[in-house]
Amino acid sequence: MTHSRSPLRILASEAAAPVILRELSRRRFLSLAALAGGATVLAACSPGGGGSPAPQATGGDLEGNLSIYTWGDYDSPDVVSAFTADLGPKVTLDSYSSNEELIAKLVAAKGTSGYDIVVPTGVFIPQMIENGLLTKFNKDLLPNLSNMDPAYLGRAWDPDNDYSVCKAWGTTGFVYDKNVITRELATWGDFFDAAQNEASGSTSMSDDPAGIIGAYFWANDMDWNTEDPDELEACRQFLVETIAPHISAFDSYPGTNAIPQGTQTLMQSWNGDARLGLMESSEPERWQWVLPGPQTELWMDNWAIAEGAPHPEAAHAFINFSMTPENLYLNLDYIGYNVGGKDMEGAAADAGLALPELIFFTPEQLETMHEQELNDSQTVRVEIWNEMKAAAGA
C-alpha cells in the first residue's frame, strides 16, 4: 500500500526560529539546551519534576473523544477505526515533524494542550518527565503490556515503563542501484566510497544532522556520541570538503519518490522507508538494501500520555488497544517498522509479510546498533550539517 509521508527535517537553534517548522527533523536528538542557546527550553518554561498519575484514570467510563499528537501517517487506520467502533471514543490525530515541535507545543500549553497521547522519541523522555510534560501510566489499565517483548521494555530513559512504552523502532542504512553500482557495498565506508565514484552527483543523504554525522563515525567505528572537538573537526572536514560536492539531495524519505522513480543511485534511508520504496518500485530487483557495518543507529518512538490529558481513560484504553496482538500486527504492516510486540516475526512469517528482513534483525545485527545521546556537541553537529548543505549547494 502507499502511505503519504511527511518529509523529515532538522532541529534548529532559536536563531533559526522562522524556519523551524520547515527545517525540523523527526527522531533526531538535538539537545534541548542547544535549542535555547544554553538553557533548556523545558527548564525555562515548566518548573517542577515528574508527572503524577493521570487524573481519573481509574478504569471508569471512557470519555467520548481522544486526541493524539503523533508523527504523520504513523497509525494504521484500521486500528483507529476499530477502536472507535469497539470502544466508542472518537479519535482526532494531529501530526508534528519533530520532537522539538512536540515539546514546544507542550511547554507552551503548560498542561492545557488538549492532547492526550503523544509519541516522543526515547532520548527526550527523561527531560520531558523531569519537566512535568508527561503523566504516569496507571499500569492497571494497560494489561496488554504483557504482549510486549521484554527486549523493548525497560529502556534507559524510562526503566520501569512508568511513562512510556515502545510504539515503534528502527535503524538507518542505505539503498543502491545495482544497475549502476555493480560491486557489493556492505559498510558505511563503502557508502562514502561509492558516493565519490559510481554515485557521484546521484547520492542522497538524510535531511538531518544526526544521520549524516552519525554515518561518518559509524564508518570509522567510533563513538557517534563523541564530544571530542578534534574528532568533530575531522568529521566536519570529511563531510564538508570531501563528501558534500558529490551529494545531489538531502532526502529523508527516498522510499516515497527516489526509489520508485529511480532518480538517485545511492540513498541513505531508514529501514521502514527503504522497505516502502522497494515495495512500490516497478523494478524491486534493481535495488539493494544494506544494513551497513561496522555500526549504525537504533531509535525508538514511544506511546506516552501528556500531562493534563483531558481524556485519560480513553488514552489508556487506546494504548492498551494498540498492544493487542492483532493491532500490533496491523500497525507493523502499515508503517513497516518493528512495533515491539512478542512473536511479531512469527506472525509476519505466517501472514507472508513482504521483506521481513527490513523489519526484523538478527542478534548480530542488533549488536551493531547504538542509540544517540543528548550532549553538548549538538550545536556543533548542526553547524556541520549546515556547512555540508551549503557546500553541496542544496
Q: pLDDT tens, 258-287?
A: 999 999 999 999 898 899 899 999 999 999
Q: Are residues 280 and 186 part of one domain?
A: yes
Query: What is the rounded radius of gyration, in angstroms, for the C-alpha atoms of the chain?
Result: 21
Question: For residue 26, what is the domain's CATH number?
Answer: 3.40.190.10
pLDDT at 76 exceeding the cut of 70: yes
Residue 387 pLDDT grade (very low, low, confident, very high; cuts 50, 70, 90): very high
Q: Could you tell me which residue, 32 or 254, shows the higher pLDDT?
A: 254
Read off the pLDDT of residues 279-290 as tens digits, 9 standing for 90 and up. 999 999 999 999
Q: Are residues 178 and 50 part of one domain?
A: no
Give residue 132's domain range. 14-169+299-359
pLDDT at 16 exceeding the cut of 70: no
Q: Are residues 196 and 276 part of one domain?
A: yes
Mean pLDDT of all residues in 220-242? 97
**Residue 253, pLDDT score:** 83
Q: Would 147 be classed as within a structural domain?
A: yes
Q: Would 26 be classed as within a structural domain?
A: yes
Mean model confidence pLDDT for the chain: 86
Q: Write the CA distances from 61 to 57, 173, 257, 314, 322, integer angstroms.
A: 9, 45, 45, 9, 19
Q: Are residues 332 and 257 part of one domain?
A: no
Q: Are residues 145 and 18 part of one domain?
A: yes
Q: Would 364 be classed as within a structural domain?
A: no
Q: Are residues 175 and 160 part of one domain?
A: no
**Residue 23, pLDDT score:** 32
Q: Are residues 323 and 252 part of one domain?
A: no
Q: What torsion do the CA atoms of 152, 268, 209, 214 make, to the nearest 10 degrees?
A: 60
Out of 12-26, 78-92, 297-311, pick the least confident: 12-26
Number of structural domains found in the chain? 2
pLDDT at 41 exceeding the cut of 50: no
Q: What angle do CA 139, 144, 145 make, to 5 degrees?
A: 60
Q: Could you tell me which residue, 1 or 124, shows the higher pLDDT?
A: 124
**Residue 91, pLDDT score:** 98
Cis amide linkage into residue 294, ω under 30° from 0: yes
**Residue 284, pLDDT score:** 96
Mean pLDDT of all residues in 142-155? 95
Question: What predicted TM-score, i.e. pTM, was given to this entire model?
Answer: 0.79
Q: Are residues 151 and 247 part of one domain?
A: no
**Residue 73, pLDDT score:** 80
Q: Would 318 be classed as within a structural domain?
A: yes
Mean pLDDT of all residues in 179-195? 98
**Residue 71, pLDDT score:** 86
Q: Would 1 be classed as within a structural domain?
A: no
Q: Are residues 388 and 274 part of one domain?
A: yes
Cβ(180)–Cβ(265) below 8 Å: yes
Residue 36 pLDDT grade (very low, low, confident, very high; cuts 50, 70, 90): very low
Out of 98-102, 219-223, 228-232, pick the least confident: 98-102
Q: What DSSP assignment string belongs to 231-292?
A: HHHHHHIIIIIIIGGGEEEE-S-TTTTHHHHT--SEEEEEHHHHHHHHHH-S-GGGEEEE--
Cβ(79)–Cβ(321) below 8 Å: yes
Q: Are residues 143 and 236 part of one domain?
A: no
Element (H, E) at 300: strand 296-306
**Residue 236, pLDDT score:** 98
pLDDT at 32 exceeding the cut of 70: no
Read off the pLDDT of residues 334-373 as tens digits, 9 standing for 90 and up. 899 999 999 999 999 999 999 999 999 999 999 999 998 8
Residue 101 pLDDT grade (very low, low, confident, very high; cuts 50, 70, 90): confident
Cβ(232)–Cβ(220) below 8 Å: no
pLDDT at 6 exceeding the cut of 60: no
Mean pLDDT of all residues in 326-336? 94
pLDDT at 2 exceeding the cut of 80: no
Q: Are residues 114 and 56 part of one domain?
A: yes
Q: Would 108 be classed as within a structural domain?
A: yes
pLDDT at 11 exceeding the cut of 90: no
Q: Are residues 133 and 93 part of one domain?
A: yes
Q: Would 266 be classed as within a structural domain?
A: yes
Q: Would 4 be classed as within a structural domain?
A: no
**Residue 184, pLDDT score:** 98
